[in-house]
Structure 1
Amino acid sequence: MKHVNLLILDDKEENIVSLSALLSEVEHIHIISSTDPNEALKICWKNDIAIALVDVQMPEINGFEFVSLLKSNPKTNHIMAIMVTAISKEDKYLLKGLESGAVDYLYKPLNPEITIAKVSSFVSQIHIQEEIKQKNIALEESQRQLILAKEEAEEARKSKESFLANMSHEIRTPINGIVGIIHILRNTSLNDEQRDWINRLDSASNSLLLIINDILDISKIDSGMMRIEYENFSIHKKLTDINNFFKIKALDKHITFETIIDPQLPEYIKSSPIRIQQIIDNFISNALKFTKEGKITLKASVVEQEDAQCTIKFTVTDTGIGIKSEALEKIFLAFEQGDDSITKKYGGTGLGLAIVKRLADLLDGKIEAESTYGVGSTFSFQATFQKIDDFKQQETLDTETIPSLHKFDHVRILVAEDNELNSFMLEHILKSWGCEVDVAKNGHIAIEYVNQYDYDLIMMDTHMPVMSGFEAIQEIKTHPNPQKASTPIITISASVLEHEQAAAYEAGADSVIGKPFDPIDLYQKIDKLISKRV
């Protein structure tokens, strides 16, 4: 424990000697003495004095005046002053000492026990005060570190978000071009071999897009940027769609696929249909991947119903290769497979089940996995949903039933896109629909085109050099010519960030389409916006 500096001030040397001897029994103190008040003041200024035992009756400067001088100086006003006196114990002297700043009195002749007890008590107080001071310093430092860590975490979050946006744009943009070119080629004269090549290219691009989506999804979830959008939907229809899709894939592998739906399953629930399908799709895709023969079963069962709440368990069971018991623990970790040999033989990023686990958490549900190596596996997702009664679904247009698309009549479109593959693809798709097309490589050139020509619609990429799509949209929407300012604008965004897509609307965009996009979806958006303008 740190020693406390204690000053003894008395004009008589023999008093100092006797008091020093008495206080030698007190632990953790270092005694400094003086017979001269002026010298004692200098000692207090230069040394870290914590306690001062001051004689009241001294020539030149008495004890009261000395203590007053200590308390008037910021460098010494912290010192605990104890008056040592042989004069009367009358209240007026006691009050005078306390008014000067003293904290206590010792009366001569000194009682050894009382003197030691009082000094020891003040030493303990100083140690406690020092401990509190150090803890406050440590607390302040801890708070400073927490603030710094929070700022660093926020900066890291923003950096990761920016990286995610750039990654999404840079990867999705060329894929968008590839998908677009595939669409263009499919509408040309192809022989059987060429059509087979196009189908293989389409399959490869879809596989690449799935991997990219997995990487971006896991990044969004880990960054806290994944938002669950809840809506009312038919869980029966969702399960039927899943069944129809995977039954065909199972037939291709000569595997039996069946879906069992609990009769008590409600028709409509409120949740995220996209995320529920993503979880179930992942389970079934894995089952198909690791099952060579036998059967895959999707089962939706009601675990519990109470008022408007319904707990549903979705289970996928297969007769595949199974998982070793020691590998079950790590299959839900990102970039992990149950067995390294599995990766070599079957491939995969090891992200699917990691995403499923995180999505289940976001939906306040739970994931379970059981497996017998060499026999098969069972994966399940269970969560509680709100039941919806008398829900009328909006009729949606089935794009697959559209036999052909009529050409637009006298429609001029400006495409602002810095990626040559994408601009080439968009130009050809739009021209195949009868549109007249101009292409600008950045927002600044797009503004120049708008000033020179009249357009029925503008397609604007959000990320471009020189002037971004957001800036160009704002300038067009504030154009002095009302006709030009009212030109409908569709932004083409490769970003997965909701706030960036929202920013496009805030800038003045009339619609947003993501990369890669469905040409049918684009056609419908263009048709809708142009028909409103006519």
Structure 2
Amino acid sequence: MKNVNLLILDDKEENIISLSALLADVQHINIISSTDPNEALKICWKNDIAIALVDVQMPEINGFEFVSLLKSNPKTNHIMAIMVTAISKEDRYLLKGLESGAIDYLYKPLNPEITVAKVTSFVNQIHIQEEIKQKNIALEESKRELTLAKEEAEEARKSKESFLANMSHEIRTPINGIIGIIHMLRNSELNDEQLDWIHRLDVASNSLLLIINDILDISKIDSGMLKIENESFSIRQKLEELHEIFKLKALDKQLSFEVDIDSRLPDYVKSDPLRLQQIINNFISNSLKFTEKGHIILKAKVIEQSTNQSTIRLTVTDTGIGVKSDAIEKIFLAFEQADDGITKKFGGTGLGLAIVKRLANLLQGKVEAKSVYGEGSDFSFEATFEHAESFPREENLQKKEFSKLEKFDKLHILIAEDNDLNSFMLAHMLESWGCKVDNVKNGRQAVENVNNFDYDLIMMDTHMPIMSGFEAIKAIKKIADPTKASTPIITISASVLEHEQAAAYEAGADSVIGKPFDPFDLHQKISRLISKTRMTS
């Protein structure tokens, strides 16, 4: 604990000696003395004096005047002044001392116990004040560091979001072109070998799309942007659909894929069917990747059940390579594999199970992994689901070759897209639907074309050079001709970030479609917009 500087001011040396001796046993003080008030003022200015014991009766400058001088100077006004006096104890003298700035009185002859107690008390008070001061400084520093950390975190979040948006756009744009060409080739005359090539190309492009989706999903979960949508659905139907999807993939590897569903499984439950499917998809895909022979079984078992809810465990069991016991927890960490050699042999980002664990938490459930190395693994998800009476059924769109979809009635469509492959693919698709198509490569050309020609619909890419899609939409909406200004616009965005899609609507877009897009979804959007436009015109 830091020593406190204490000044004794008395015009008589013997008084200083006796008071110094009296205070010798007080801890944490450093005594400085003077018999001259002017010298004492200089000492106070130059040294960090905390307490001053001031004699009242002194020549030239008395104690009251000395204390007043201390309190009038910003460098010394913090000093605790205690008057030491042998004069009358009348109230008027006490008031005079307090008015000058003193905080207490000691009366001669000094009582040793009272003197030591008072000085000790003031020393402790100073130490407490210093401690509070240091804590306030530390608190302010901590507050400043927290503010700085928050600002840095926000800046990092924005940078990350910007990077993800750019990465999404740069990867999804060429994938959209590739998938579009696959659709076009499927509409052409192909032999069996060429159909097999197209199938393999489709699998490869979808694998690439899955990787970018995994990266975006885990980022959205970690930033709290991923929302859980509770709706009624049938788990049994969902499991049967997954069986149909994966049994062919299992057959390709000469594996048996079975589904074992508990008879007590409720008809309908409330949860997020998309995210639940994502969890099971990851489990099954993992098993397919790491199982070379044997079987994969998807089990649905009711653990507990009441009138209103059921606790259900969904387990995927395989006879794959298994996981070593010391690596079982590692597999749920982002960008991690149980063994570094796994990535080289089997591929993958190491994000699948990390996403599963985060999704399980969002669904208020838990995941568990059991494995015997070299024999197989069990991956399970367990959660409590609220029962539901029924769920709205969506009409299944009868998907066929896009070129065989209903043709539009002489639509003139403008495509604003800077990527040649995407522009070519989209134009081919629209022309197969009976549309007349114009192509431009940036937003400025799009605005010029709208001014010069009449269009029934505009397909606008959001990211383009010279003038972006957002800027072009705003410019089109400001055209004086109300017919041109109200031309329906569909933005084509490679970004899956909600705020960017919302920005398209804020700019004036009538609909948004993401890259890569489903031709049937695009056909429906165009049909709805054209019908709506013709009804209002």
Q: Deviations over 1:478-529 (max 9, x none)?
A: 3322211221111111112112112212222111111111112112211221
Partner of 1:428: 428
Preserved contact between residue 302 and residue 311 of structure 1 (Cα < 8 Å) = yes
| Paired residues, number | 534
Instruction: Measure how far apart 1:401 and its partner are.
Output: 8.9
Classify 1:307/1:92 alpha carbon distance in 2 versus 1 (closer, same or farther; 3 Å). Answer: farther
Q: Deviations over 1:105-155 (max 9, x none)?
A: 111122333322222221121112111111111111111111111111111
Partner of 1:279: 279
Preserved contact between residue 443 and residue 469 of structure 2 (Cα < 8 Å) = yes
Partner of 1:53: 53
Classify 1:415/1:511 alpha carbon distance in 2 versus 1 (closer, same or farther; 3 Å). Answer: same
Q: 1:166, 1:352 → 2: CA distance?
A: 22
Instruction: Measure how far apart 1:39 and its partner are.
Output: 2.9
Preserved contact between residue 403 and residue 429 of structure 2 (Cα < 8 Å) = no
Partner of 1:160: 160
TM-score calculated relative to the size of structure 2: 0.95
Preserved contact between residue 233 and residue 390 of structure 2 (Cα < 8 Å) = no
Does the alignment pair 1:411 with 2:425? Answer: no
Q: 1:521, 1:203 → 2: CA distance?
A: 20
Partner of 1:13: 13
Partner of 1:525: 525
Q: 1:188, 1:391 → 2: CA distance?
A: 39
Preserved contact between residue 161 and residue 223 of structure 1 (Cα < 8 Å) = no
Partner of 2:249: 249
TM-score calculated relative to the size of structure 1: 0.95
SS in 2 for 1:348: coil
Partner of 1:300: 300
Range that drifts further, 131-140 or 398-407? 398-407
Partner of 1:390: 390
Structure 1: gaps spanning 5 or more residues? none
- Opposite residue 96 of structure 1, the aligned amino acid is K
Q: 2:533, 2:248 → 1: CA distance?
A: 43
Preserved contact between residue 320 and residue 375 of structure 1 (Cα < 8 Å) = yes
Q: How does 1:365-376 map to 2 (within 5 A)?
A: 365-376=365-376
Preserved contact between residue 10 and residue 36 of structure 1 (Cα < 8 Å) = yes
Q: 2:295, 2:203 → 1: CA distance?
A: 25
- Opposite residue 291 of structure 1, the aligned amino acid is T
Partner of 2:138: 138
Q: Deviations over 1:141-196 (max 9, x none)?
A: 11111111111111111111111111111111111111111222222233333333
Partner of 1:483: 483
- How much is the aligned-residue C-alpha RMSD, in angstroms? 1.9
Structure 2: gaps spanning 5 or more residues? none
Q: 2:342, 2:316 → 1: CA distance?
A: 20
Q: How does 1:348-359 map to 2 (within 5 A)?
A: 348-359=348-359
Range that drifts further, 75-84 or 291-300? 291-300
- Opposite residue 71 of structure 2, the aligned amino acid is K
Q: 2:442, 2:513 → 1: CA distance?
A: 18
Range that drifts further, 131-140 or 205-214? 205-214
Q: 1:77, 1:173 → 2: CA distance?
A: 72
Classify 1:516/1:150 alpha carbon distance in 2 versus 1 (closer, same or farther; 3 Å). Answer: same
Instruction: Measure how far apart 1:12 and its partner are.
Output: 2.1
Preserved contact between residue 268 and residue 391 of structure 1 (Cα < 8 Å) = yes
Preserved contact between residue 187 and residue 401 of structure 2 (Cα < 8 Å) = no
Classify 1:403/1:295 alpha carbon distance in 2 versus 1 (closer, same or farther; 3 Å). Answer: farther
- Opposite residue 224 of structure 1, the aligned amino acid is G
Q: 1:353, 1:171 → 2: CA distance?
A: 23
Q: 1:272, 1:478 → 2: CA distance?
A: 41
Instruction: Measure how far apart 1:281 and its partner are.
Output: 0.8
Instruction: Measure how far apart 1:307 and its partner are.
Output: 4.6
Partner of 1:183: 183
- Opposite residue 518 of structure 2, the aligned amino acid is D
Q: 1:291, 1:437 → 2: CA distance?
A: 49
Partner of 2:218: 218
Q: 2:350, 2:54 → 1: CA distance?
A: 78
Classify 1:268/1:403 alpha carbon distance in 2 versus 1 (closer, same or farther; 3 Å). Answer: farther
Partner of 2:441: 441
Does the alignment pair 1:29 with 2:29? Answer: yes
Preserved contact between residue 494 and residue 515 of structure 1 (Cα < 8 Å) = yes
Preserved contact between residue 284 and residue 316 of structure 1 (Cα < 8 Å) = yes
Q: 2:193, 2:265 → 1: CA distance?
A: 47
Instruction: Measure how far apart 1:340 and its partner are.
Output: 3.0
Q: 1:70, 1:26 → 2: CA distance?
A: 24
Partner of 2:496: 496
Q: 2:275, 2:289 → 1: CA distance?
A: 21
Q: 1:68, 1:241 → 2: CA distance?
A: 91
